[in-house]
Amino acid sequence: MATIIHSISGVLMILGLVAVGYALIKLRIFNDDDGRLSKFLSGFVTKIAIPAYLIVSIPQDFTPASLVALGPKLILPVGSMLVLFILSFVVARLIHVNPTHKGLFQSLLFNSNTVTVGLPVNMALFGKESLPYVLVYYMANTIVFWTLGVYMIESDTQTGKHFNLKKTLRGVFTPPMIALLVAVVLVIFQIKLPEFLVTDLTDLGNTNVPLSLIFIGFSIAKTQRADLIPDKENITLAIGRFVMAPTVMALMMMPFDLPKLLKAVFVIQSAMPTMTNAAVMARELNGDYKFASVSITQTTLMMLVVIPILMVLVS
């Protein structure tokens, strides 16, 4: 019962902060017609708040031994994404996905938004104890997206199917990933940061959950009515993200004796909305970025309904 009550509290906290962001735009307290405020908020969270949080939290919560112990667990999320990658070919063929964005559709199906949405959601639901498992899933998701995911998006465009090492490395080494690597170095070499720097980074890092959720509220408030009407492909993507992905993840973990929290985090992470970077890469590669944007909007909205259901299942 205590677990269920805690889960409900976490879900209500998420909905409350999303509602704050929604109200700020709808009540015209903030004007974001030009998108600058949303862009600033998103940039601040991904480039400053989350990196600051990781640099402070990981050295506090890990030892070199516990860090090394997490390594083999990467196999589970990577494996689940590879299964989804294979299934995406079957799904795309069954529903006759538009060839102009078939690769993008597949990329959206097997990758999830594990940072801007996944990190704050898991922190709100499970607390700081979930951080190690969130990071494992984030690393796996980032690597798979910037290799297989981008390759599939490129398959739709005139760019051609070629491996661009520079672009891939730039995509993998995002500010959160760089911060994660810095934190790992601090743990391995047991380096202590100056107290004033820890205090500053802690204050910045503590903003990542509320600002991320408020940003989601901003995005929902600015959603056009036409983008709320799902078609066959977007409905299928939602089923893939919220049913197929967590089911595959849960089945992969069944044979192993794993901590309950790890299982819960991996299931929630696997069921996050479609990945924001997919729209960015589709635009850069002259792909159908509008299709990706609509999918991101719709799955983000649906997530607010799906999370309470998943919390009941994993509790």
Q: Rg (Cα) of the chain, in Å, rounded?
A: 19
Banded pLDDT at 268 (limits 50, 70, 90): very high
Banded pLDDT at 277 (limits 50, 70, 90): confident
- The average confidence (pLDDT) of the chain is 89
What is residue 147's predicted lDDT score, i.e. its pLDDT? Answer: 86
What is residue 201's predicted lDDT score, i.e. its pLDDT? Answer: 96
What is residue 196's predicted lDDT score, i.e. its pLDDT? Answer: 96
The type of residue at 32 is: D
Place of tokens 């290799």: 147
User: Average pLDDT of 239-261?
Assistant: 95
What backbone phi and psi angles, to 5 degrees, belong to 274? Answer: -60, 155
CB-based contact 82:252 (threshold 8 Å):
no
Q: Tokens in use for 34?
A: 């030009």
What is residue 78's predicted lDDT score, i.e. its pLDDT? Answer: 96
The three-state secondary structure class of 274 is: strand
What backbone phi and psi angles, to 5 degrees, belong to 254? Answer: -55, -40
**pLDDT above 70: residue 11:** yes
What is residue 195's predicted lDDT score, i.e. its pLDDT? Answer: 95
Q: Tokens in use for 295?
A: 């999918």
Q: Which residues pair with 112 in a beta bridge?
A: 274
Q: Which residues pair with 274 in a beta bridge?
A: 112
Interatomic CA distance for residues 246 and 222, integer angstroms: 29
User: Average pLDDT of 138-142?
Assistant: 90
Least confident of 19-28, 242-251, 279-288, 299-308: 279-288
The type of residue at 126 is: F
- Looking at per-residue pLDDT, the higher value among 146 and 252 belongs to 252
Q: What DSSP state is assigned to residue 159?
A: T
**pLDDT above 90: residue 4:** no
**pLDDT above 70: residue 158:** no
What backbone phi and psi angles, to 5 degrees, belong to 112? Answer: -130, 165
pTM for the full model?
A: 0.85
User: Average pLDDT of 105-117?
Assistant: 92
User: Average pLDDT of 272-279?
Assistant: 89
CA distances (Å), origin 297, targets 18, 110, 269 = 14, 17, 17
**pLDDT above 80: residue 164:** no
Give the rounded distance of the alpha carbon of 145 from its chain centre. Answer: 11
Interatomic CA distance for residues 171 and 153, integer angstroms: 14
User: Average pLDDT of 163-172?
Assistant: 70
What is residue 264's predicted lDDT score, i.e. its pLDDT? Answer: 94
Sequence-ordered list of residues with C-beta below 8 angstroms from that of 305, at least 6 positions apart, any chain = none
**pLDDT above 60: residue 38:** yes
The type of residue at 104 is: L
